Amino acid sequence: MTDANAPLDSILSHVDANIDQSLDRLFTLLRIASISTDPAYADECLEAAQWLSAELNGLGFDAAVRPTAGLPMVVGHQRSDSAPNVLFYGHYDVQPVDPLELWTNEPFEPKIGEENGKKVILARGASDDKGQLMTFIEACRAYKAVRGALPLGVSILLEGEEESGSPSLDAFLAANAEELKADIALVCDTDMWDEETPSIITMLRGLVADHIEIEAASRDLHSGMYGGAARNPNQVLAEIIASLRNPDGSVAIAGFYDDVPELPADVAEQWERLPFDDSAYLGDVGLSVPAGEQGRSVLEQITSRPTCEINGMWGGYTGDGFKTVIPGKAGAKISFRLVGNQDPQKIREAFRAHVRALVPADCTVTFHDHGGSPASVVPSDGPMLRKALAALTDEWGREAAIAGSGGSIPIVGDFKRKLDMDSLLIGFAQTDDRIHSPNEKYDLASYHKGIRSWVRVLDALA
């Protein structure tokens, strides 16, 4: 018997009382080997899409498996004419499981294990992203079971190609823009601040990737016969790369910081209060000295400041033994993480102008574009953001953090550019979930409290 006026605590109690059944449903989904990067698993991807569509229809959504040029999408709607409407996004595809011999259990036979005194769900996709997307679906289930209806309009978009670069997403969003528009998008594919502190990511860095190649002589040269007289592309490349950063760790390209904002004062103040250990963060990977901009914390360097990084270099002989050559050409792959209003094309052009100015006589440079995207920023004073932060704080008993992410999540930019819609990135993964690696896990508390958190967020946004 449902009660439209049932208190919020009744819905949360329903979540608690039915967590075993929620886990059973998650385990059913986890058993489907929906690996999008391998065409051999196309049938399993379709099976996962069909299972999710059936679950949504069973909850009263108008849901269907929607074809694309690649793997299908799942779209479902329960719209409202009198309350806000949200679009929830997740993905049902998973990474391959190789190397299989490093798994301690079968990747697609989920089980509950224990690590460091905590119960964890072990399976491929447990954290990325099946466990996460199911927290939202199970929250909708609890709401419907207790009150008979959702408190606001909900549309759901579940993708099947996120792990393979989302090749069908652009065309799908363009073709279905009006259908998918909502007041805000909700994305559950991110981490908590730490295992006890929830967070909403409001800043995602953008990306520019370029490949440069310096060419001098028409072939590799004998260093005894030509050394000293011939221009060495390795030396030229090294000088160019060294010129990209100033001694204080900042990027030396002209105009690079023109469109870089400072952190909003309230966010900067919150980051001062939140637990983050600079030494421990670097110490986990065997480092100790921050190498970015001096005067900026490690947390700022990895989330809210732009970067220039050398991702690969080559030239000459690099095999075993020794070969005394002057290479005819040398190359490097260089990427920039962008923040604020930095324009990817403007940054690319500034970088290339910087390089061209340093290329000496007898050398030529060629560039190869490897794509780019702008940063995404959600205003830190938005009313929906503030309501969601309060809801998460109520559930976890810790002040929910406004966070930045050093990486890029293209769907967020797509929602903004194609649907004119901001996104709230609310995830319950932990940084040690081993996503994309053997023995992927999702803390049982993340799953359970994730469901409870979405109940609170939906209630707050309504």
Nearest to 19 by CA among 453, 421, 444: 444
For the cut 80, the answer to whether the pLDDT of residue 456 exceeds it is: yes
The reported pLDDT for the residue numbered 249 is 97
Regarding pTM above 0.75, the answer is yes
For the cut 90, the answer to whether the pLDDT of residue 454 exceeds it is: yes
HEC per residue, 50-63: HHHHHHHHHCCCEE
Coil, strand or helix at 320: coil
- 192-245: pLDDT as tens digits: 999 999 999 999 899 999 999 999 999 999 999 999 999 999 999 999 999 999
Domains of the chain: 8-204+375-461 (3.40.630.10), 207-260+306-373 (3.30.70.360)
CA 78 centroid distance within chain: 27
Cβ–Cβ under 8 Å, residues 156 and 144: no
Tell me the sheet residues that pair with 63.
76
- 381-430: pLDDT as tens digits: 889 999 999 999 999 999 999 998 887 777 888 899 899 999 999 999 99
Cβ–Cβ under 8 Å, residues 314 and 331: yes
- 90-145: pLDDT as tens digits: 999 999 999 999 999 999 999 999 999 999 999 999 999 999 999 999 999 999 99
Q: Which of 157-171, 369-383, 386-400, 443-457 has the lowest mean pLDDT?
A: 369-383
Nearest to 249 by CA among 297, 202, 206, 320: 297
Mean per-residue pLDDT, 11-19:
98
Residue 211: phi and psi, rounded to 5, are -125, 125
Nearest to 349 by CA among 254, 260, 257, 261: 254
For the cut 80, the answer to whether the pLDDT of residue 309 exceeds it is: yes
For the cut 90, the answer to whether the pLDDT of residue 275 exceeds it is: no
205, 206, 258, 292 from 250: Cα distances, Å:
17, 18, 13, 7
Residue 135: phi and psi, rounded to 5, are -60, -40
